[in-house]
A and B are shown apart, each in its own frame.
Chain A
Amino acid sequence: MGSNLLDVKGLSVAYGKVEAVSKLDLSVPHGSIVTVIGPNGAGKTTTLSAIIGLLPSTGRIVFDGADDRPDVEAMVARGMTLVPEKRELFGSMSIEDNLLLGAFQRCRAGHRDHATTLADVYALFPRLKERRAQAAGTLSGGERQMLAVGRALMAKPKLLMLDEPSLGLAPLIVREIFRIIAELRRRGVSILLVEQNARAALQVADHAYVLENGAVKMQGEAQAIAADPRIVESYLGLASKHQERLAG
């Protein structure tokens, strides 16, 4: 337990009487990539929203040694960031302003290192630097995703949670995004990755959870999960082979 950055025990989230996630256990060890895969409506996004505090939930969430349930802003201040499925960019504001706002909580806490962080993010996403004065709303889908990830990195997070980072993106961009995810882990960022693109997610992750109907159906080493015949059949079947051919 001690070596885990995030420990979730018995997390349940209900929308009215409908339980979207029930008694979910999940851990993210320091410096690892953990992925949660599963079909649409399995409760993946709900799980992330509940962990960061956007949704009310029951159960224990131990993040970075602290076992309480603060609001979203306090979680962000502690080093957890979420790149939501909808990106939630500030469309009418410039790319650079979007990035700077990613460091809002750090600046408020008195850290004055956002210039170097900004240079790091620009080094990771040169395209954002080229367009830094442009409004975020004018970016293409892939660039928007890069901006969303870059903005999250501006907070220098301990845990980066990515919700469907490949959703709606062209295969070439998807590969770029996953390359960056692997690169971030090398830099020591722990990552909790929610994906429908199970094949790509399992390739990059260390550990995987398979979520169905709001409960963990299976979990283990990402490689073992990827080799499991049941997973191959339901998630890595012909459809994704077809996708991979397109991507390749």
Chain B
Amino acid sequence: MDQTIFVLLAQDGVTNGAIYTLLALALVMVFAVTRIILIPQGEFLAYGGLTMATLEAGSLPGTLWVLLGAGAVAFAMDLATARGGGRRLPGRSLARSAAWNLGYPLALAALLTQLPLAGLPLAAKALLALALVVPLGPMMYRIAFQPVAEAPVLVLLIVAVAVHLAMVGVGLLVFGPEGSRTTPFSDAQFEVGAMQVGGHTLAVIGASLALIVALYLFFDRTLYGKALRATAVNRNGARLMGISPALAGRLTFLLAAFVGALSGLLFAPMTTVYYDSGFLVGLKGFVAAIIGGLGSYPLAAAGAVMVGLLESFSSFWTSAFKDVLVFTLIIPVLLWRSLASHHVEEEE
């Protein structure tokens, strides 16, 4: 291997690593707040990429039907909760549920059918793709996880696997079995020393860094960010402050879906995305999150870059085994973690 190839592989590894970082951070965040291991995190990526591809082809993305359907189910569940159980759900929160779960998807549908999709600039398409995919996050929480929010971690994991399988199936239904690749955000090439850097590579790394900073500011500065952290630290304490687990869950899933969909937009120009591509990418983010012990954001990010580099270098030497090598990484990490860390009882 000469220097040019080394630099090329390293660049590739860091770019992929940036995507894995986003997914790993989302996984750590969701687990901290809700104790859910979000297996379907990768599906947000696939849905984001494929929705973008459909918009680029100038046709109406099938994501819209998913959004309309999921919204209807979520609203029906809110309605059922308000009616039955004797639990009072004030009219205001039911109205809010109707606005988000029914009004928003319908408004978006109206907008999409009016717009000349093919002629839109790239940025507008990206925004539309986000607008379509991101609300699926809170709806997913409402439908699948809120009813079992108090269940043990294992039950939540099983539900997460079920949601993942359902989303892959729905993805096949609405996007079809063909893969798509989208236009890069930039075709520019830059010479940095002896290195050729693509504009899209810079866009991926820049967007990832910007998102990480934004997430940091959200959690450090805003009341809602602090509320999510409080829920992660002490659920009972948070409830006594009036921070409901349902609110925290929906907000966390909104962020996770945003991170996932955005990483899909960044990922789709680099490789062909299929309806089931999300799982493998998500799993690599999960390996990175595990390296961080599913609890540390910086370690998860470092792990993600490590996974990206390992993947790109092993694809050079033994491309057939690149995934095997990446996933084998988890074994020494787990060994090291189980030896190095003592079991910590839940804080009282």
Contact = CB atoms under 8 A, between A and B. Distances in A.
B partners with A:
yes
Interface of A: 52, 54, 68-74, 76-77, 81-82, 84, 86, 88-93, 97, 100-102, 104-105, 107-108, 151, 155
Contact of B230 (A73, A86, A101, A105): A101
B236 interface: yes
A82 B240 CA distance: 7
17 contacts: A68-B88, A69-B86, A71-B87, A73-B247, A77-B242, A81-B240, A84-B240, A86-B348, A88-B236, A89-B234, A90-B238, A101-B223, A101-B226, A101-B238, A104-B227, A107-B223, A155-B241
Contacts of A102: 241
Contacts of A101: 223, 226-227, 230, 238, 241, 243
B237 A89 contact: yes
Interface string B229-251: 11001101111111110010000
A65 to B, nearest CB: 15
Nearest to B87: A71
A69 B241 CA distance: 18
B345 interface: no
Contact of A93 (B86, B226, B239, B243): B226
B2 interface: no
Contact of A105 (B86, B233, B241, B347): B241
Contacts of A155: 241-242
A73 B244 contact: yes
B86 to A, nearest CB: 8
Most buried by A among B226, B227, B240, B247: B240
B243 A104 contact: yes
B173 to A, nearest CB: 37
Contacts of B226: 93, 97, 100-101
A88 B240 contact: yes
A101 B348 CA distance: 19
Interface residues of B, number: 23
Contacts of A107: 223
Contacts, number: 79
Contacts of B230: 90, 93, 97, 101
B240 A90 contact: no
Contacts of A86: 236, 348
Interface in B207-235: 223, 226-227, 229-230, 233-234
Interface string B19-59: 00000000000000000000000000000000000000000
Among A52, A69, A92, A102, the most chain B Cβ lie within 10 Å of the Cβ of A92
A91 B234 contact: yes
A117 to B, nearest CB: 14
A91 B230 CA distance: 9
Interface in B71-98: 86-88, 90
Nearest to B223: A107
Contacts of A54: 236, 239-240
Contact of A70 (B88, B241, B243): B88
A89 B229 CA distance: 12
Contacts of A77: 242
A7 to B, nearest CB: 18
Interface in B281-325: none
B31 to A, nearest CB: 16
Nearest to A154: B241
Query: A-B pairs with the 9 shortest C-beta distances?
Result: A105-B242, A88-B237, A76-B242, A73-B244, A90-B233, A73-B242, A90-B230, A104-B241, A72-B239
A189 B241 CA distance: 18
Interface string B157-190: 0000000000000000000000000000000000
A93 B88 contact: no
B340 to A, nearest CB: 21
A101 B237 CA distance: 10
Contact of B242 (A89, A92, A104): A104
Contacts of A108: 242
Given A90-B229, A93-B229, A104-B227, A76 B234 contact: no
Nearest to A83: B240
Given A69-B86, A88-B236, 18 more contacts: A54-B236, A54-B240, A71-B87, A72-B242, A73-B239, A73-B247, A76-B241, A77-B242, A84-B236, A88-B234, A90-B234, A90-B238, A93-B230, A100-B226, A101-B238, A104-B223, A105-B241, A105-B242
